[in-house]
Structure 1
Amino acid sequence: MADRRILVDLLGFTGSRGGTETYVRELLPRLAERLPHVRFAALTGRVGAERVSSFFPGHVQTVPWVGADPATWALGAVAATGPVARRGRADLVWAPANFGPVFRGVPRVVTVHDAIYDEVPGGLAQRAQRAVTSTLMRRSARTADRVLTVSHAAAASISAHLDVDATRIDVVHNGSTAPRPVADPAGILAPLGLPADRPIVLSVGNRMPHKNFPGLLAACATIDPAVRPVVVVAGSRLPDPLAEDVRRLGLERDVVLPGWVSDDQLEALFQVADLYACPSLVEGFGLPVVDALRRGVAVLAHDVPVLREVGGDAARYADATDAAAFGAAITSALTTPPDAAMRADAQRWASRFTWDDAADATAEVLDRTRGERRR
Structure 2
Amino acid sequence: MRVGLDYRPATIAPMSGIGRQVLALENALVQRDDTELVLMSEAPLGHPQRETALCPAWPSSLEHLQRPQVRFRFERRFLPATLRQEHIDLFIATANMGLPIGRKPSGTRYVLVLHDLFQLTHRNFHRSILTAVAYRFINTLSIAWSVWIADQIWCPSQFSCNEAARIFPWAKSKLRVLHNLVPAFTDPPGELPAGLPDRYWLLVGTREPRKNIAFFIKNWQLSRLENHQVPDLVLLGHPSDIAPELATLPGLHWLSGLSEAQLHALYVNADYLWQPSIAEGFGLPVVEALRVGTHVVVAQGSALDEVAPPSARRFNPRDGVQIRAAIVDVAQTPPSADSQSLIEWAQQFTEPAYRQRLDTLLKELGH
Measured against the shorter chain, the TM-score band is 0.7 to 0.9
For 1:30, the equivalent position in structure 2 comes to: 28
Q: Identify unmatched segments of 5+ residues in structure 2.
A: none
For 2:229, the equivalent position in structure 1 comes to: 227
Check the 8 A contact 1:27/1:355 in 2, yes or no: no
**Cα offsets for 1:125-174 (capped at 9, x unmatched):** 53433331232012111111111111111101011123442211111112
Give matches, 1:123-272, under 5 Å.
124-125=129-130, 126-179=132-185, 182=188, 184-186=190-192, 189-190=193-194, 193-196=195-198, 199-205=199-205, 207-225=207-225, 226-236=228-238, 240-242=239-241, 244-245=242-243, 247-249=244-246, 251-272=248-269
Residue 369 to residue 78, structure 1, CA distance change in 2 (3 Å): farther
Q: Identify unmatched segments of 5+ residues in structure 1.
A: none
Aligned equivalents of 1:130 and 1:262: distance in 2?
34
Check the 8 A contact 1:112/1:149 in 2, yes or no: yes
Check the 8 A contact 1:275/1:300 in 2, yes or no: yes
Aligned equivalents of 1:280 and 1:52: distance in 2?
34
Check the 8 A contact 1:274/1:334 in 2, yes or no: no
1:354 to partner: Cα distance: 1.4
Give matches, 1:278-317, under 5 Å.
278-317=275-314
For 1:65, the equivalent position in structure 2 comes to: 60
Aligned length: 351
Greater RCO, 1 or 2 (C-alpha within 8 Å, sep 6+): 1
Q: Which of 101, 111, 114 in structure 1 is aligned with 2:113?
A: 111
Q: Give the residue type in structure 1 aligned to 2:122.
A: V
Structure 1 vs Structure 2 CA RMSD: 2.6
Give SS of 2:317's match: coil
Aligned equivalents of 2:25 and 2:109: distance in 1?
20
Matched, 1:350 2:346: yes
Aligned equivalents of 1:308 and 1:149: distance in 2?
15
1:47 to partner: Cα distance: 6.2
Give SS of 1:366's match: helix
Residue 66 to residue 40, structure 1, CA distance change in 2 (3 Å): farther
Residue 206 to residue 137, structure 1, CA distance change in 2 (3 Å): farther
Check the 8 A contact 1:27/1:358 in 2, yes or no: no
Q: Give the residue type in structure 1 aligned to 2:231.
A: P
Residue 30 to residue 9, structure 1, CA distance change in 2 (3 Å): same
1:315 to partner: Cα distance: 1.8
User: Structure 2 length normalisation: TM-score?
Assistant: 0.86
Q: Which moved more, 1:161-170 or 1:125-134?
A: 125-134
1:52 to partner: Cα distance: 5.7
Check the 8 A contact 1:277/1:301 in 2, yes or no: yes
**Cα offsets for 1:15-35 (capped at 9, x unmatched):** 25621111111221122112x
For 2:82, the equivalent position in structure 1 comes to: 84
* Identity rate, percent: 24
Aligned equivalents of 1:339 and 1:269: distance in 2?
18
Check the 8 A contact 1:185/1:271 in 2, yes or no: no
Check the 8 A contact 1:222/1:324 in 2, yes or no: no
Aligned equivalents of 1:205 and 1:362: distance in 2?
27
User: Structure 1 length normalisation: TM-score?
Assistant: 0.84
Q: Give the residue type in structure 1 aligned to 2:197.
A: P
Q: Which moved more, 1:58-67 or 1:254-263?
A: 58-67
